[in-house]
A and B are shown apart, each in its own frame.
Chain A
Amino acid sequence: MTGASAVTPGVRAAFDDHLAHADETGATALALDLLRAGVTPEDILLRLIAPAQAAVGARWVSTEWSVAQEHAATHVSERVVSGVAAAAAELRPRDRAPARRVLFACTEGECHTLPARIAAEVLRLRGFDVTFLGANVLAPRLVSHMHRQGPDLVGLSCMIPVRLPAAHHLVECCRRAGTPVLAGGSGFGPGGVWARTLGADLYAPDPAVAADTLAGRWPQTPREAAPLEHLADDEYSRIVRQRPELLRRLLARLLERYPRLRDPRAEHAEAVLEDLGRLPDVVAAANYVDDPQVLTGYLSFGVEFLHARGVPTAALSDALATLSEPLRGLPRAAAHLDAGRRWLTAADLPAPPA
């Protein structure tokens, strides 16, 4: 039985239903039944859990689910991954040749561990000797694991571009230690464009592709990379230093223009402020990789996010305008904000519900 046919729409719907009810027992039983019926563990991870989890994220963006439901569902998915991995480990032959060692880490500040966890399990299923370090891995922890285990490769997950500067720090640590880096996750941009900017040795859009690529060719021992040239203008560090001020101005402006957000009991008010509060970090990350797409990518999410929460998407234009003033002296940041404004003008914005 192969993956596509084994995970039928009916199976997927049943699994989604378990996630919706935060039913760990039911979800795990369903996955283990599939395993017993001959579906490969890799197909369960990549064709059942991963797409179901993507749908969970979409349901949160559209407000169909509360953030609590999203979290509960994610927790259940994580438990199912553990269950499937443990069951698959039972089936694995024990006396195999020593395998290549891979260390998996989520970037500092990164709390979305599930995609990295699935990637780690897929590589384990493909015969690699995998250690999963989990969420929010800081450089000292990664370096200490590299010294202890001497991995042949570090898998680095970054799910949102805001974490790219932190990801770069980890990539640099790996290169310095002569360990190649496999980058993965939507945070590295369309086609992994920013993985290359940051000096990752490999980028894979999904774990199966990563395993296939590695089976074909192992990346060479990297050398220490040159620093990113565009950072010489100091714009990035100036944005980071100004972060509290930018955030203060931004929130003041939003609360002035959209008084409804001031009421902490108003539905979605807190979530909206929190998410728009990421804008200074998004601008900083765009500056770090010198690509306005980081900002326009965030805006395209923001439009959908605000629209679903009944907040006029003009709030995004307001927010960009508020940041323009204090960042006026920074030519690259100003150009990125301009690109953001042009994107908002060009986008056919959905009208907010009355």
Chain B
Amino acid sequence: MTGTRARNPASHGSGQAPGRPGRKLLDTLLDLVDQAVVVCDASGVVRWCNGRTAVYFPGLRPGTTPDPATAGPLGQAVVASAVRFDAEFLGRRLSGHRSTVQDCSVWLVSDETGVRRCAAELRAERFRAAFLSEAGRRLGASLHHGRTARSVVELAVPALADAALLVLPPRGGHADWHRCAAPGAAVESGVLPVSSLDRVPQLGRALTGLSPRPAPCRPDGLGALGGAAPPDPGKGGESLVTALPGSGAPAGALVLVRSARAGGRPAADAALVRDFAFRAGTALSTAALYAEQAHTAAVLQSGLDPAPLPEVPGVRLGAAYRPAPDALGFGGDFYQVEPARDGGGGVKFTLGDVCGKGVEAAVLSGHVRQSLRTLTLVESRPLRVLDVLNQSLLEADSGRFASLVMGTARPGAQGTLDVVLAGGGHLPPLVLRRGGTVEAVDVGGMLVAALPDAEFGQAGVSLAPDELILLYSDGVTEARGGPTGAEEYGAERLAHDLAGCAGMPAGAIAERIALRVAEWLAGRAHDDIAVLAIQSSSPSPGSSGAAGAPR
């Protein structure tokens, strides 16, 4: 094999036939190929190479033998008799493979630098997109502040750092922290005195909003945090303190700890950390706001929820309360029972229904209850109480009216209970007699807060031992359901179901009526439901319970 033949592979065999490209032209054409073409003879000496070869392997010339010194990975491949290589050389990512043409080795070497960079960027971008999507999902999953804070550090490790510490804005001299100390480790939490925050200036600045950019921090500088300090990243590692922007003040400060050995994170990290900090901050400040509002709502609601029933000798009480399901526990129905404090024993009670539902109705029902409580302290005649209540509600001008039944139940002789009722516009209470007969008690009267000169009704009923009077709101009788889904539960069905409760204690009867209505509704929407059962019981403390219970 001669050098000339090797410089001109196309001439091999067929010679210079007319119409075929000449040797010079072929050399030029092969220079256009974007791969290095290197032809070595059987002894390994370079016989021919194209122009690109000089770009990738400046030291390689025809007549030399490729070795690791002059031709880097190509030389190593030749020495090792490998058929392909893929390695960095002089700032390029080179990938080559060897073919054998007759007794010559032909190496085709391409520059993959751009392709590899694109692939790496694509991977990094996919990672970023997947990470931010996961972060969005996790941070949006809960409005609970503690859970959101735990999610922040869980998400940060290992995607952004080897360990992460979140310090929340201090309140009352202390700051809550959450830490994930290593990939896969459980999140730990604790409380830090503000004084130790002062010893890490980067943290203090991040929490006061004075440091909008991530600030590096010497790893040993975090030692002042004591038990909250994240693990030391070791030699060459770094710690980065990032403020999490909230609405107004920062929602926290995130410390990202990275050790040197895992240092291969992409340079675009800074943008990713910023994106994540933004999402985490938004989630944390939304959760904090929600917690405050939920707390406010819970406090207000606890003031509006029915108070527990008192324990009063001679009276057995039961109640059930189911606000309309779409109002998150707020309802316009109400009941209250308090021991009568005028020396006569027994209880005074009210059950009412403010028209409408939800929080607006609940607020007015709170107003009505408070007014009643105050009025009954100064006025014992129920009709007079209702008159004043009517006047006061009309003057408040809420545009809503209410129906209610109020009264007293006082133990009489031999375990009887004397019930005096007054009310306006409310459904007639039902009395369950011992034998299981049910009687409606017509109280009459007009709606409260509807007309200035409304008249109210009064009635009285005497209960023998274990007999019971049931007060209920129209959410019971107007519950639509049944086989057709549109039929009202109705007064008749209520009386029938109440009759079936003969012998049961008041608590069980109230629950059972509410249950019957729930079964009737079979999951359909309903108005507020309130049931109050007042039963006479012999005041003897023995274990007789409901003496009339059938065996």
- Which residues on A are within 8 Å of B, measured CB to CB? 18, 20-26, 29, 66-69, 71-72, 74-76, 79, 108-109, 111, 136, 138, 140-141, 144, 146-150, 166, 176-179, 224, 244, 247-248, 251, 274, 277
Q: Which residue of A lies closest to B483 (CB)?
A: A247
In the complex the two chains form, what is the Cα distance from A248 to B487 in whole Å?
Answer: 14
Contact of A146 among B142, B483, B523 (CB under 8 A): B142
Which of B144, B329, B542, B549 touches A72 (beta carbons < 8 Å)? B549
Q: Does B542 lie within 8 Å of A177, measured CB to CB?
A: no
Cα distance, A25 to B298, chains bound together (Å): 33
Please give the number of chain B residues whose Cβ is less than 8 angstroms from any Cβ of chain A in the complex. 46
- Most B-side CB within 10 Å, residue of A71, A136, A141, A146: A71
* Residues of B197-230 whose CB lies within 8 A of A: none
A22 near B504: Cβ-Cβ < 8 Å: yes
CB of B501 within 8 A of chain A? yes
Would you list which residues of chain B between 484 and 518 have a CB under 8 Å from chain A? 484-485, 500-505, 507-508, 511-512, 515, 518
Contacts of B32 in A (CB 8 A): none
Which residue on chain B has the smallest CB distance to residue A144?
B328
Question: What separation, in Å, do the CA atoms of A282 and B485 have in the docked complex?
Answer: 18
Interface string of B289-311 (1 = CB under 8 A from A): 01100100010000000000000
- The answer to whether A72 and B503 touch across the interface, beta carbons within 8 angstroms, is yes
Report the minimal beta-carbon distance from B502 to chain A, rounded to whole angstroms. 7
User: Are B142 and A21 touching (Cβ within 8 A)?
Assistant: no
Known: A244-B484, A251-B483. Contact between A71 and B504, CB under 8 A? yes
Q: Is B44 an interface residue, CB under 8 A from the partner?
A: no
Can you name 15 A-B pairs with beta carbons within 8 Å? A21-B546, A22-B508, A24-B505, A25-B542, A66-B550, A71-B515, A72-B546, A75-B511, A109-B523, A138-B325, A144-B328, A147-B142, A147-B294, A150-B145, A247-B483
Nearest CB in chain B: distance from A328 CB, A: 22
Q: State which of A23, A149, A224 has its C-beta within 8 Å of the C-beta of B543.
A: A23
**Identity of the chain A residue whose Cβ is nearest the Cβ of B484 in the assembled complex:** A244
Q: Which residues of B contact A67 (CB under 8 A)?
A: 500
Establish whether residues B325 and A178, one from each chain, have CB atoms under 8 Å apart when the complex forms.
Answer: no
Which chain A residues border B507 with CB–CB below 8 Å? Answer: 24, 75, 79
B138 CB-CB contact with A under 8 Å = yes
- Verify if B172 is at the interface (C-beta below 8 Å from A): no
Return chain A residues, CB-CB under 8 Å to B500: 66-68
Which chain A positions have C-beta within 8 A of B542?
25
Q: Which residues of A contact B4 (CB under 8 A)?
A: none
Using known A-B contacts A177-B142, A178-B142, determine if residue A108 contacts B523 with beta carbons closer than 8 Å.
yes
Supposing A20-B551, A111-B515, A150-B144 touch, asked if A68 and B501 sit within 8 A by C-beta, the answer is yes
Chain B residue numbers with a CB within 8 Å of A140 are 325-326, 328
Q: How far is the CA of A179 from the CA of B508 in the complex (A)?
A: 34
Most chain-A Cβ atoms within 10 A of its Cβ — which of B326, B329, B502, B550? B550
